Chains A and B, each alone.
Chain A
């Protein structure tokens, strides 16, 4: 069977009725969840959830490249 022909049944399954059985698609609960997620606070909730991670990435970067040191401290280290 040619590759394009073998993919066709898979593509057709995507549009079949059974594919819409996800909980986030049709039920009353799903609609309320969507409404609760994508309300006016959506973007701020994304930002708040992800807020610690830039700081944690900065700690990893600081560990890898070295944290900036105060000039006095650097001079003392150089003199050691």
Chain B
């Protein structure tokens, strides 16, 4: 019979108190990073609706496009760091006995993280600083408000999934 290590939450035979925070935080970091990649890949590169500083430095010449490309790269660098942080936190969470291995918690965290990215980046870059707008040639438009709205909706969906995941058990099979 294998021995179960005694932890601070109970005796040898007791299950530890479930802790959903590490998995939620890992999902949130992954969602922020991957949400940033969605913005960068889809809106910056594929559709080319805007670039990082395109409201200040309009992409009307090769030089301006290349300068914006550098700032896009810096932005992508930090979305990469957030994704790497999420993987690290997920790895750590996977090693803990008190973290239920809940798909709903992880997915909820990821959706919530994507929502936080849209909300925070939208408020700061699109509205407060005016560094760029979702559709640059339209300026501040309904698309910017839809971007913020999508952030709120994603946060609410993610939060609901995280709450639903609280009924998930500690067992990992």
User: Per-residue 0/1 for A29-61: is the Cβ within 8 Å of any B Cβ (1 yes, 0 no)?
Assistant: 100110011000000011011111101110111
Identify whether the interface residues of A are mostly helix, strand, loop, or mixed: helix
Q: Is the CB of A56 within 8 A of B64?
A: no
Q: Is the CB of B28 within 8 A of A50?
A: no
Q: Say which size band chain A's interface belongs to.
A: 20 to 34
Collect the chain B residues with CB atoms within 8 Å of residue A45's CB. 53, 71
Given contacts A48-B131, A50-B78, A66-B21, contact A56 B67 (CB under 8 A): no
- Residue in chain B with minimal CB distance to A23: B66
Question: Which residues 14-37 of B sit at the A interface, judged by CB distance below 8 A?
Answer: 21-22, 24-25, 28-29, 32
Collect the chain A residues with CB atoms within 8 Å of residue B71's CB. 45, 49
Given contacts A36-B63, A45-B53, contact A60 B22 (CB under 8 A): no
User: Per-residue 0/1 for B108-131: is the Cβ within 8 Å of any A Cβ (1 yes, 0 no)?
Assistant: 010001001100110011000101
> Is residue B107 contacting chain A, with contact meaning CB distance below 8 A?
no
Q: Is the CB of B75 within 8 A of A49?
A: yes
Given contacts A36-B67, A59-B116, contact A64 B25 (CB under 8 A): yes
Identify whether the interface residues of B are mostly helix, strand, loop, or mixed: helix
* Cβ distance B73 to chain A, nearest Cβ, rounded Å: 10
- Residue in chain A with minimal CB distance to B53: A45
Q: Is the CB of A63 within 8 A of B74?
A: no
Q: Is the CB of B67 within 8 A of A53?
A: no
Residues of chain B whose beta carbon lies under 8 Å from any beta carbon of chain A: 21-22, 24-25, 28-29, 32, 52-53, 57, 62-64, 66-67, 70-71, 74-75, 78, 82, 85, 89, 109, 113, 116-117, 120-121, 124-125, 129, 131
| Additional 19 contacts, C-beta under 8 A, given A49-B75, A55-B120, A66-B21 | A23-B66, A33-B67, A33-B70, A36-B63, A36-B67, A45-B53, A49-B71, A50-B74, A52-B124, A53-B82, A56-B82, A56-B117, A56-B120, A59-B32, A60-B28, A60-B29, A60-B32, A64-B21, A64-B25
